[in-house]
Amino acid sequence: MMLVKEVSRVLVHLNSPELVARFQRACGLFPARGQHNGDTRKNHGTRERNGTVKITQGGEHEHSCNLQYEVKNWTLYFLFVVSAALGHEVFYISFLPCIHWNLDPFLCRRLVNIWAVVMYIGQVMKDVLKLPRPRAPPVVKLEQRVDAEYGLPSTHAMAATAISFTLLLSATERVQFPFVLGLLVAVVLSALVGLSRLYTGMHSALDVMSGILISAMILGVSYPYWTTLDFLQLNSPLSPVVAVVLPLYLCYKYPELDHYSTTRGDTTIIMGVASGCSVGYWANQQLGITFEPSGPFPVTLGPVTLVTVVLCVARFCVGLVILVLTRQIMRWLSLRFICWTYGVSVGDIEARRRKEIEVPYKFCTYLTIGLVNSLGGGRAFALLGLL
């Protein structure tokens, strides 16, 4: 009984918003002077939560929200804001394809697969457990878009842990590198992203620790089967069917909430990308053009020269332009077709949030992005002489 009480006390402490607030203060992030119980008066040294930044005299900022803030350590501010951005769509749509285009499609395939599994489990757990994020005040919140979502577990921490350690474990099969250095980088990146969720006020310590532990458990359970799943994904005739039907089914079966949240839409985006990539990798394997480096593995990376750097940058820029154009075109087409099918206006935001509209248009859009990344990228680079 005493053990249960002690564990309960520790969990309550780790979930405390006061603990998050103390971490923010230790890192130089404070409520604006004169802020008490959500007072919204504007003060020097604060920043606007609605996404717009207004510079005041002395280079300070203003913020119109339930709690304004001031930054006293700009180094940590930029470090944690950048670290938090590693869990957003902009990072995924650039980093994962970059691995495919400039390093090894095998690594990108592994990363996308684990990323999709980890994120789906994390997002569903949020909306099943329905545990709130840290309250403000005393916490200062630097993000607005995801504030309506539930807290536990932190999917930023889950994704950072999964991507860092999946890349580390998979790269040992393909590339020769100092493992200890790779392990250090994986630990540091995971820690920075986790701490950034405390700094931005979006998660409690319990949320972050739970996310890391859940992600580690998923990696540990699935790791022995990665090679088998790779083979089935690339060679089974059922692979493209499963890759489309199962993720789409899971998106439609996503837990319903009594209010709109971005979690279902974000999850659909991730599942769509994973689905498109999987179909593309399967098609490449059947066509015998995988764009993967030749063995025997692990290979030794060649020297970094000006030519290789220019080629990498060129592939990244060209590929990113292709993906952005694909996103804009497919989003425009799919949204209008589905809205026309249901007889609603494209400009009706509430209608676009309905499951029967949001799921198919986002899934189709990002499935196409995944296909273009895995199936079209290498061929485009070959045509342009960038391989």
Q: What is the pLDDT of residues 278-325, one digit of tens each?
A: 999 999 999 988 888 877 888 887 788 898 899 999 999 999 899 999
Report H helices in the chain. 2-14, 17-26, 74-85, 89-102, 105-129, 155-174, 179-199, 205-222, 226-235, 239-252, 262-287, 306-342, 349-352, 355-371, 377-384
Give the pLDDT confidence score for residue 35 in this predicted structure.
54
pLDDT band for 187, please (50, 70, 90 cuts): very high
Interaxial angle between packed helices 105-129 and 155-174, expressed in degrees from 0 to 180 and rounded to the nearest 10: 160
Average pLDDT over every residue of 259-266: 85
Mean pLDDT, the chain, integer: 85
The structure tokens 């949020």 sit at 126
CA torsion angle 65 66 71 77 (round to 10): -80
Q: Is 156 one of the annotated active-site residues of the chain?
A: yes
Q: Which member of 36, 63, 156, 259 is catalytic?
A: 156
DSSP state of 32: P
pLDDT beyond 80 at 208: yes
pLDDT higher at 344 or 37: 344
Q: Is 203 one of the annotated active-site residues of the chain?
A: yes
Tens digit of each residue's pLDDT (9 = 90 or more) over 235-254? 999 999 999 999 999 999 99
Task: Kindly report the pTM of this predicted structure.
Answer: 0.86
Q: Which member of 63, 88, 203, 259 is catalytic?
A: 203
Q: CA-CA distance, 133 to 213, in Å (whole number)?
A: 19
Give the pLDDT confidence score for residue 147 in this predicted structure.
64
Q: CA-CA distance, 326 to 36, in Å (whole number)?
A: 48
Give the pLDDT confidence score for residue 333 in this predicted structure.
94
CA angle centred on 387, ends 111 and 110, rounded to 5°: 10
Burial zone of 331 (CB within 10 Å; 0-12 exposed, 13-18 middle, 19+ buried): middle
pLDDT beyond 70 at 59: no
Average pLDDT over every residue of 7-14: 85
Interaxial angle between packed helices 74-85 and 179-199, expressed in degrees from 0 to 180 and rounded to the nearest 10: 110
**Domain range annotation of the chain:** 80-384
Residue type, 271: M
Tens digit of each residue's pLDDT (9 = 90 or more) over 87-130? 776 777 788 888 888 888 999 999 999 999 999 999 999 999 98
